[in-house]
Structure 1
Amino acid sequence: MPRAEVLSATPTLFRDDGALDGPANTALLNRLDGRVDGVFVAGTTGEFPALDRAERRELARLALTVFGPDRTIVHVGAASTREAVALTADALAAGATRLAVLTPYYLPVDAEAVRRHFAAVAEAAGDAAVYGYLFPERTGVTLTPAEFAATGLRGGKLSGAAAARFADFRAALPDARLWSGADTDLAAVARAGGAGIVSGLSAAFPDPFLDLAIAVEEGDAEAERAAQARADEVSDVLGGTVAGIKEALRQLGIGTGALRMPASAPAVDRIAAYARRS
């Protein structure tokens, strides 16, 4: 089977005063270059609701400078269609050719409202590829596989409950590119015909996830078990959280660990111990 992709969902790194840290974000991107297949920028792991339009434009620019348009997916999702369309224009101006758009959120919407939202972004995107992003637990919006297929998008990222139904979405969209946001499910995603994973955890420790993708591709069961165990350990140590990912990067000398959005404190000592031996 084709090798599943590992796309890192990059956290947005801030200075201690809360301002965007350009050098730290660039250092993170440079560290990931050659160790993952691409990056997913300004998504959930990137704390996108806490970013302004100029900051999202700058993050897209930094990612495209390091990874180029073929290896960068810029998230342009927003609560309003107007803002999502404006973010789409910004991403295109920065050189993006691959975009992701979260369903609208906060106000309740039906499948037809989501379809119109996605259609407006797709129209603004022109020839750029547009992928939907489903995360029911965060948005309050649930689409069935059939409803998602009816949007006509080229594929999507499935997180939370949507990721748990990956096989159902694959069946409903046999020709689409689908990624799972469940970092440690890479093997199952690959065997279900998915494109790969969009993984926040890989932004801190990419090697176990790429090793797992290679082992699955090569059919090496022993290597797969070993890489899966390492990926599972990363998930356990970091707690699967943005705070854990940022703390790991801080321990590795990248960024301050600061978040803009309130979050539970990570297990600093445990993360530090893991970072020292990684």
Structure 2
Amino acid sequence: MPRPEVVSATPTLFRDDGALDEAANTALLTRLHGRVDGVFVAGTTGEFPALDRAERRLLTGLALDVFGAAHTIVHVGAASTREAVALTADALAAGATRLAVLTPYYLPADAEAVGRHFAAVAEAAGDADLYGYLFPDRTGVTVSPAEFAETGLRGGKLSGAAAAELTAFRAAAPDARFWSGADTDLAAVARAGGAGIVSGLSSAFPEPFTDLAAAVGTKDEDAAQARADEVLAALGGTVAGIKEALRQLGVGNGVLRMPASAPDPERIAALTGG
């Protein structure tokens, strides 16, 4: 069994006035470099619906500068196909070679509509690796394993209800690579033949997840799993929790652009020592 990957889904860090904080985002990426296998930028954890196109270009450039193209996955998803294609062009122009595209969202979209959306982005992506991003709990759009296989994409990030179907996606598209957005399910993902996890929690606490990746199938797996579970319990699996943990660790100020439930600082402090 190959060691599963831990790709950090990075939050986007803002200044007190809500403007994007270039220095803090660079500090976060630098902190993660050498500690995880790669980064996934401008995704759900990155509050992408609250970012404008120029900000997404900036985040892409920062990630590529620190991690390089081979270890950076740039999310180019948007509600409209036109915007997703434009974001794809921006990412390619910056030097990205690995992209992820969320399904359309908000308006109902059947398999044919999703297929058209993915096909347009794939055409714009050219030779770049393009992965689908399925998160039916948030988008309201469900793509079955068989429907996904018809897209011809090179893999996918499966979050929410889609993550529970990893085995079915692997069976339907055996040549594709799939990552789970369920951070603490890494061991099960590895056993099911998944590539690894795209993990928001690891952007604050990398080692509990990389240690778990290394421990899968060994006598240390249970202890490593317990440490990863402890991170999930403290941070609640939320962007707010991740940002609060980073704030306590001296990276960023915890500010979100998107309204969200407040985390429990005292519970997080038990992990950070803050």
Does the pair score TM above 0.5? yes
Question: 1-side partners of 2:270 and 2:196: how far apart?
Answer: 29
SS at match of 1:149: helix
For 2:95, the aligned partner's letter is: G
Question: 1-side partners of 2:267 and 2:197: how far apart?
Answer: 25
Question: What is the match of residue 218 of structure 2?
Answer: 220
1:172-187 matched pairs, under 5 angstroms: 172-187=172-187
For 1:253, the aligned partner's letter is: G
SS at match of 2:133: strand
Question: 1-side partners of 2:142 and 2:125: how far apart?
Answer: 24
For 2:46, the aligned partner's letter is: G
Question: 1-side partners of 2:221 and 2:198: how far apart?
Answer: 19
Question: 1-side partners of 2:165 and 2:109: how far apart?
Answer: 21
Question: What is the match of residue 240 of structure 2?
Answer: 243
1:122-137 matched pairs, under 5 angstroms: 122-137=122-137
How far does residue 175 in structure 1 lie from its aligned partner after superposition? 1.1
How far does residue 95 in structure 1 lie from its aligned partner after superposition? 0.5
1:76-225 matched pairs, under 5 angstroms: 76-216=76-216, 219-221=217-219, 223-225=220-222
Question: 1-side partners of 2:96 and 2:106: how far apart?
Answer: 27
SS at match of 2:227: helix
Question: What is the match of residue 34 of structure 1?
Answer: 34
Unaligned runs of at least 5 residues, structure 2: none
Among 251, 256, 266, which residue is 1:254 paired with? 251
Question: 2-side partners of 1:255 and 1:119: how far apart?
Answer: 37
For 1:46, the aligned partner's letter is: G
Query: Which consecutive segments of 4 or more residues in structure 1 shift more than 6 A?
Result: none
Unaligned runs of at least 5 residues, structure 1: none
1:159-180 residue CA offsets vs partner (Å, 9 max, x unmatched): 0000011111111111100000
Question: What is the match of residue 43 of structure 1?
Answer: 43
How big is the alpha-carbon RMSD for the aligned residues of Structure 1 and Structure 2? 0.7
SS at match of 1:8: strand
Among 263, 266, 273, which residue is 1:266 paired with? 263
Identify which range, 29-38 or 166-175, moves more after superposition: 166-175
How far does residue 273 in structure 1 lie from its aligned partner after superposition? 2.4
How far does residue 186 in structure 1 lie from its aligned partner after superposition? 0.4
Question: 2-side partners of 1:257 and 1:172: how far apart?
Answer: 40
How far does residue 158 in structure 1 lie from its aligned partner after superposition? 0.2
* Equivalenced residues, count: 274
For 2:218, the aligned partner's letter is: D
SS at match of 1:150: helix
For 1:48, the aligned partner's letter is: F
How far does residue 274 in structure 1 lie from its aligned partner after superposition? 1.5
1:39-67 residue CA offsets vs partner (Å, 9 max, x unmatched): 00000000000000000000000000000
Question: 2-side partners of 1:152 and 1:166: how far apart?
Answer: 17
SS at match of 1:6: strand
SS at match of 2:156: strand
For 1:251, the aligned partner's letter is: Q
1:124-149 residue CA offsets vs partner (Å, 9 max, x unmatched): 01110000000001000001100011
Question: What is the match of residue 24 of structure 2?
Answer: 24
Matched, 1:56 2:49: no
Question: 2-side partners of 1:260 and 1:211: how far apart?
Answer: 32
The percent of aligned pairs where both chains have the same amino acid is 82
